[in-house]
Chain A
């Protein structure tokens, strides 16, 4: 099914237009959650909602998966989220795992690194996978859920023309090949990308920093001996004064990313007769390759001031945009909807106050700022914009070849790591003396091997009372939140990741698998207060 055939997956309609009964309704139909955009973030959001029993309708003005490979680098935390959504392993099986990166300066290798992934995790540190496969597997998951009767739907070639927030719902006007129709949504999630038409229709800001540079992406199909590694060049002989990146994808597809500078003719540069000689210079004359996809992009680092506007919530690139260095785009978008779905579910059930959504803004703006900071710094290193920044950058690279100390300063992209929600109002103060910093309140749970599987799989998507060497009741109901206990044996990995210097621990874990609170032992009053806090009741 995934073999290369005459037609590529992104050329085939995967969710072709079909007339919906909503188009013939006498009065506008009302849906629980409407999502605009069937990209990675919108599809993940829909699956998350539907998995929790909430009706989700995805609208997309197109009917195919992403054109070209686009996002290709997926990090462990998003893979864990996809694991929770029931399609993580498909991605890993198809994807290319990599651990080694090499950094070149001019014509020489200055150093090599290995991500050395920690053992005892269900998912790898990184995979490379074309965005079109990523989206295809999400669509497959949607189809599988539909077969079991889950309330989830994708409407292709449904273009949203108008959005109006009515306070307790949102009115939409949608254009289709068979004309327009109105639709109402209790909640609207805008996942319509960096150029978000929803954001524009609502007249909302999107400010930040423009980087004056163009990058050429060429995905080539070649039979090459290059190893499965990330190769990054500063100022290579085949692209003087600029940068280059080579990364492997499934099906013998290689991502080549070449910095072009600012004053270029984009249409000219994109033509195969100009792209092919550039690639030959890089790959050598005797390597046979075929162009799959060529694109030129510029980028900005920016975000909306707030991601939630009444009944409209923005997620993914629609809310925040970063440079591609570090793979912080799609990876952070998946963390957005991971953060959003359970909160909206509790609000819709009447279990949590609507103000819980304020924490979506606080936590994901914090995540976006972290990503913007890291990706701006990478961009400043990779594409120095002043004589002095280039001088210092080159000094770092020259030193990195001779001395270890300079290597941490080399910044060819700080790869996406999960965001810890330090300072979130949903966190209780850390009460576990000697507990590991990596599992402090606000942090995403670190996976660990259990006798019969993995920790994160057991946590799933509900509140959990986690105990390690501590007594606690098997279940507890707090204001409509049913907590089940998960008792862990203090194996070496569990102790290192959850006990640290403590001898016992009790954790409260949120449905998005972030730590809400932790203590050395169980105390019912403290647990009740922490749950109330974690659902925005404090």
Chain B
């Protein structure tokens, strides 16, 4: 079981961020929210590891003490 990575891990971070914005480009708020929800589920399934997912949920809630 691996730990949740909370140090820089995406090569070409700016490119990724631009692609994330571009995917939302032109969408209504409702469609963007739906896309984000789908994205969370797609990524969560890719990770799969329940401990990493729990740590990610804690990290996203900005409760860093539980995320380690």
Residue positions of A touching B, CB distance < 8 A:
391-392, 394-396, 398-399, 403, 405-406, 409
Contacts and interface: CB of A to CB of B under 8 A. Distances in A.
Of the four ranges (under 10, 10 to 19, 20 to 34, 35 or more), the interface on chain B belongs to: under 10
B45 A405 contact: yes
B67 to A, nearest CB: 21
A409 B41 contact: yes
Interface in B4-34: 33-34
B33 A391 contact: yes
A43 B37 CA distance: 48
A403 B44 CA distance: 14
A304 B37 CA distance: 38
Nearest to A392: B37
A399 B34 contact: no
Contacts of A392: 37, 40-41
19 contacts: A391-B34, A391-B37, A392-B41, A394-B37, A395-B37, A395-B38, A395-B40, A395-B41, A396-B41, A398-B34, A398-B38, A399-B38, A399-B41, A399-B42, A405-B42, A405-B45, A406-B41, A406-B45, A409-B41
Contacts of B34: 391, 394-395, 398
B39 to A, nearest CB: 9
Contacts of B40: 392, 395
A403 B38 CA distance: 11
A395 B42 CA distance: 10
Contacts of B41: 392, 395-396, 399, 406, 409
Nearest to A396: B41
Contacts of A406: 41, 45
Nearest to B35: A395
B24 to A, nearest CB: 15
Contacts of B42: 399, 403, 405
A405 B38 CA distance: 12
Contacts of A398: 34, 38
Given A391-B33, A394-B37, A395-B34, 15 more contacts: A391-B37, A392-B37, A392-B40, A392-B41, A395-B37, A395-B38, A395-B41, A396-B41, A399-B38, A399-B41, A399-B42, A405-B45, A406-B41, A406-B45, A409-B41
Contacts of B38: 395, 398-399
A409 to B, nearest CB: 7
B7 to A, nearest CB: 27
Interface string B39-55: 01110010000000000
Contacts of B45: 405-406
Contacts of B37: 391-392, 394-395
A408 to B, nearest CB: 9
A399 B36 CA distance: 12
A399 B39 CA distance: 10
A305 B65 CA distance: 35
Contacts of A394: 34, 37
Nearest to A402: B38
B47 to A, nearest CB: 12
Nearest to B46: A405
A398 B45 CA distance: 15
A398 B37 CA distance: 10
Of B34, B38, B40, B42, most buried by chain A (CB within 10 Å of CB) is B38
A391 B37 CA distance: 7
A498 B42 CA distance: 38
Nearest to A398: B38
Contacts of A391: 33-34, 37
Contacts of B33: 391
A405 B37 CA distance: 15
Interface pairs A-B: 8 shortest CB-CB: A395-B37, A405-B45, A395-B38, A391-B37, A392-B37, A391-B33, A399-B38, A395-B41
A403 B45 CA distance: 11
Nearest to B45: A405
A406 B38 CA distance: 10
A399 B40 CA distance: 11
B37 to A, nearest CB: 4
A132 to B, nearest CB: 43
A335 B57 CA distance: 37
